């Protein structure tokens, strides 16, 4: 028996370096009902307080067909974390626009200027414009916003 446990212990450590060098995916995918969304915030999921950041959502139906903004009554709400669901009003309701990012054409985007460093919840909800091709959905994402280094330097 000792040989087997030593072998499995060794095999576990052999996998560790592979995990450490694997590239970290900078896109978050969530699914609600029959809608999936790939989400990203520029730059590299590290928005800075007080600076406008582009958040984008590539919405797809089951089967992978893209849902453009023109087919979705969508809205984006930004909440501070922590907040009370249904009680805390949204901090921001950024206007949605159509954007082209990387291989994604005509996807949903919004420019968000987070007021201060900390964690925020982005909640994207939507219903299909008629004829309905997907069920109503709500997807939420947690975003960590960093401090503005130029503001910090000014306080010295």
Pick from 43, 26, 58: which is nearest to 114 by CA? 43
Q: Answer yes or no: are the C-beta atoms of 148 and 49 closer than 8 Å.
A: yes
Measured CA distances, 135 to 12, 38, 67, 110, 154 (Å): 43, 17, 12, 22, 49
Write the burial class of residue 42 (CB in 10 Å: 0-12 exposed, 13-18 middle, 19+ buried).
Answer: middle
* Structural domains of the chain, ranges and CATH numbers in brackets: 29-154 (2.60.40.10)
pLDDT in tens, the chain (156 residues): 444 444 444 443 344 343 333 334 456 788 888 999 989 998 887 899 999 999 999 999 988 889 999 999 999 999 999 888 888 899 999 999 999 987 888 899 999 999 999 999 999 999 999 888 899 999 999 999 998 655 443 333
């Amino acid at each position: 028996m000792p040989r087997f446990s030593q072998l499995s212990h060794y095999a576990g450590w052999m996998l560790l370096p592979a995990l450490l060098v694997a590239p970290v995916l900078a896109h978050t995918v969530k699914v609600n009902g029959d809608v999936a969304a790939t989400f990203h915030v520029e730059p590299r999921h590290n928005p800075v307080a007080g600076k406008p950041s582009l958040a984008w959502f590539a919405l797809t139906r089951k089967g992978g067909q893209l849902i453009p903004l023109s087919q979705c009554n969508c809205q984006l709400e930004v909440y501070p974390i922590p907040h009370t669901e249904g009680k805390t009003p949204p901090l921001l309701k950024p206007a949605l626009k159509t954007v082209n990012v990387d291989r994604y054409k005509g996807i949903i985007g919004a420019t968000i200027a987070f007021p201060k460093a900390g964690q925020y919840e982005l909640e994207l909800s939507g219903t299909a414009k008629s004829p309905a091709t997907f069920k109503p959905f709500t997807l939420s994402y947690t975003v960590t916003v960093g401090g503005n280094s130029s503001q910090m330097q000014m306080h010295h």
